[in-house]
Amino acid sequence: MAGVRISRVLKAYGALNVLHGVDIDIADGEFVVLVGPSGCGKSTLLRMVAGLESITSGTIAIGGKVVNNLPPKDRDIAMVFQSYALYPHKTVAENMVFALRLQKRPADFIKQRLQTAAETLDLVPYLDRYPRQLSGGQRQRVAMGRAIVRDPQVFLFDEPLSNLDAKLRVQMRKEIKELHQRLKTTTIYVTHDQVEAMTMADKIVVMQSGKVEQIGTPLELYDRPVNTFVATFIGSPS
């Protein structure tokens, strides 16, 4: 496992500055939620941690090692997106082990990782099915399975539950938290939903317009918001 340190990170797309010097320190094993209105720069920041976007200036370190110039495949991270993008013509098992096959891992290793991940996510009975034969929640679990089989140092989630209905969203929040309690993998979880942030986070980072407004535990933000933006955002119904 490893912590993540984001230091003075700026991002510009041409003349458009979307992140204005972001500092976030994430401890080993912590579950940190980035929350803020649509367009404030959450996905951009997460994609920079993943190596999918260049860093205009500043540094990002994973496990104490600066990764600014490392391609995504050389970063020990796994990302789960909102559109789970499963391969429709591959079974659940094939979807889950695809990355390991690309890495040319030995067959025994792949089998073991698949078995462990399937047990963790209650997917054992579904391994031979195709995505279209699964419910929304099961598909989301397969998407998480693809991340878990890689046993990464850091999980990155970008609004993974926003395609699910309200009831399933509540259940999946619980499952993701339980998973984190078991695996203790450092997690950065992006959402625009303050209820999700308040119920899931060890630590919340509230962002607005490319800046961090406040970092704290859910209770700290609730009790002592630093400004009216945080107070209103945390206090308003989703």
Which residue number, 33 or 123, has a Cβ lying nearer to ligand ADP?
Answer: 33
Query: Of 121 and 213, which has the nearer Cβ to Mg ion?
Result: 213
- Residue 45 or 164 with smaller CB distance to ligand ADP: 45
The residue to which tokens 């140092």 are assigned: 153
Which C-beta is closer to ligand ADP: that of 16 or that of 166? 16
Distances (CA, A) of 138 to 49, 81, 86, 101: 27, 15, 11, 22
10 contacts: CB under 8 Å, gap ≥ 6: 17, 19, 20, 21, 22, 55, 56, 57, 58
Residue window 27-66: x/- pattern of binding to Mg ion, with contact defined by CB under 5 A? ----------------x-----------------------
Give min distance, CB of 14 to ligand ADP, in A.
Answer: 7
Residue closer to ligand ADP by CB (options 18, 32) is 18
Query: Total binding residues for Mg ion by CB under 5 A?
Result: 1
Q: How do beta strands 203-208 and 4-13 pair?
A: unpaired
Strand pairing report for 77-80 and 154-158: parallel
Question: Smallest gap, in angstroms, from Cβ of residue 53 to ligand ADP?
Answer: 8
Q: How far is the CB of 115 from ligand ADP (least distance, A)?
A: 35
Rounded to 5°, angle at Cα 47 from 41 and 53: 100
> Which of the listed partners (ligand ADP, Mg ion, none) does 109 bind, with a CB threshold of 5 to 8 Å by partner kind?
none
Give the interface with ligand ADP as residue ranges (CB under 6 A).
13, 16, 18, 36, 38-44
| Shortest reach from residue 6's CB to ligand ADP, in Å | 14
- To ligand ADP, the closest distance from the beta carbon of 167 in angstroms equals 25
Could you tell me if 156 and 79 are in contact, meaning their C-beta atoms sit under 8 angstroms apart?
yes
Q: How far is the CB of 201 from ligand ADP (least distance, A)?
A: 16
15 contact, one of Mg ion, ligand ADP, none, CB 5-8 Å limit per kind: none
**Residue 215's binding partner, choosing from ligand ADP, Mg ion, none, with beta-carbon cut-off 5 to 8 A by kind?**
none
Nearer to ligand ADP, 44 or 120 (CB): 44
| Cα separation, 69 vs 168, whole angstroms | 38
Cβ-based nearer residue to ligand ADP, 5 or 42: 42
Binding site for Mg ion (CB under 5 A): 43
